[in-house]
Amino acid sequence: MPHLVATALAGAALALLPAVPATAATSAATSTVTIAAPTPPTPPTPPAGASAPSAPAGRGTALRLTLTFPEQNASGSRTVTLACDPAGGSHPHAPQACADLDRSRGRFEHEPDGRACTLIYSPVVAQAAGSWHGRPAKFRREFPNDCVMRAHTDSLFTF
């Protein structure tokens, strides 16, 4: 019986997700992204020189981002924290990472940005856990190398 409940919940969650283009479906098959509720509409862009409104109290962004390098001589990990609204934490490029997350409406991965990457296999696992605008968020994906990872994640995992 528990497997039927899990199947029903998984089906309901999948029904809430937006459609994925066929070209993105193959790359998305190896990643895991969980966001508890549908993404709200993007607010209008403020005029030049105006500051963007911050998220309501209690609805900020707080993430723990981790990179793991499983194929190196000594497998290691690096972890930073990222807070947004206002940008902060130990992430070295927090303002840009927050802007990238807001632009993608909380998605950690997107279509590659077109940069040329080598075919050298040096895997890196990118993980994120925490909340985005007050909603639980979780992400994990293994990329063939750090260049490909950055092409898919902008500055979020640049640390």
Domain residue spans in the chain? 59-159
Cβ atoms within 10 Å, residue 122: 15
Tokens of 10: 């998984």
User: Can you tell me the distance from the alpha carbon of 18 to that of 58, in angstroms, rounded to the nearest whole number?
Assistant: 26
Hey, what CATH topology would domain 59-159 get? Subtilisin Inhibitor (3.30.350)
In tens, the pLDDT along 118-157 reads: 999 999 999 999 999 999 999 999 999 999 999 999 999 9
What per-residue string of b and e applies to 63-98 under the rule 16 or more CB within 10 Å gives b? bebbbbbeeeeeeeeeebebbbbebebebebbeebb
Sheet with 124-132: list strands edge to edge: 32-35, 135-143, 124-132, 61-69, 76-84
pLDDT per residue as tens digits for the range 37-78: 444 444 444 444 433 434 444 468 999 999 999 876 666 889
* pTM for this model (two decimals): 0.60
